[in-house]
Amino acid sequence: MVDTADDTERRERPGPTWGDRVRFVLRGIGQTLITLGVVVLLFVVYEVYVTNWFAEHEQAQVRTALKKQWLDAVKDPLLPLPGQSAPKLPEGQGIAYLYIPRLGRDFGYAIVQGTSQADLEKGPGHYVGTALPGQRGNFAIAGHRVGKGEPFLNLDQLQAGDAVIVQTDSNWFVYRVGGTPGDISAAGLDGVPGREIVDPSDGNVLLPVPDHPDAPAKHRWMTLTTCHPKFTATQRMILHAVLAQTVRAHGLAMPAAISALYNQVRS
């Protein structure tokens, strides 16, 4: 049999060297890492941007429904008549508005009833079973910190004494963050700190007197909970505030006494 030119070329072509094999493996690893990087990047874009877009749409619907409810309602559903218990509020429905002057005049969210994932994708959620706005005990709400609307993204910027405002149909409740000047983590009223970092399983922060299981509820607390640190859910950052002022006012317009609180924010 006569060899062809192609047969001769194949016999004379050297086989892959050890270096060729190493480069082949490294190229494969590099391409795999690039693919994984693209997947992670797409996931981050979805979690941070796409979920925010959906959450903003849901929040807008809740705000619109709550405004209509207040304009049409005869009385504030959060304020039962004397001798009556508070009505059971449907989960996922707006119950109040939240404002935090330190986070700017454009910070404003409708608070929904409930803390399921579906509820929290609409906005900050009220822990069912805790007090309602202005009531004695602990009015507690949760909110996402990154993605899904991220209402509590900058909650770590709050300082001791900062105002946290809750608007209902009939009242504007002004809570003040605990702690001491210059040390928000210091124990204040009833030994409750203004801010603390806890494990996700720590339910004592939601007690009528936060962190004090046997203490009687003498004051009107508000607790904000969110994930900590940012982009993780390994711990929870907790803010505690106590009711300092109530401004009675019907309608959607912000009273002058509440608007003035924005001018009191200090760096």
pLDDT, residue 17, reads 77
DSSP code, position 15? P
pLDDT, residue 266, reads 83
Active site residue 266: no
DSSP output for 36-96: HHHHHHHHHHIIIIIHHHHHHHHHHHHHHHHHHHHHH-SS-TTSPPTT-PPPPPPTTSEEE
Active site residue 144: yes
pLDDT, residue 252, reads 87
pLDDT, residue 29, reads 78
pLDDT per residue over 80-131, tens digit each? 555 555 567 889 999 999 999 999 999 999 999 999 999 999 999 999 999 9
pLDDT, residue 161, reads 96
Grouping H, G, I as helix, E, B as strand and the rest as coil, residue 152 is: coil
With 0.85 as the threshold, say if the pTM is over it: no
Phi-psi region of 208 (alpha: psi -120 to 50; beta: other; left: phi over 0): alpha
Q: What parts of the chain have a pLDDT lower than 70? A: 1-15, 20, 36, 38-49, 73-87
Cα–Cα distance measured from residue 171 to residue 46, given in angstroms and rounded to the nearest whole number: 38
Q: Which of 176, 195, 227, 228 is catalytic?
A: 227
Grouping H, G, I as helix, E, B as strand and the rest as coil, residue 4 is: coil
Q: Which of 102, 126, 144, 240 is catalytic?
A: 144
pLDDT, residue 43, reads 55
Cβ proximity of 143 and 227 under 8 Å: no
Active site residue 227: yes
Give the torsion through C-alpha atoms of 207, 237, 49, 95, to 10 deg.
20
Cβ atoms within 10 Å, residue 91: 15
Token pair listed for 100:
């935090």
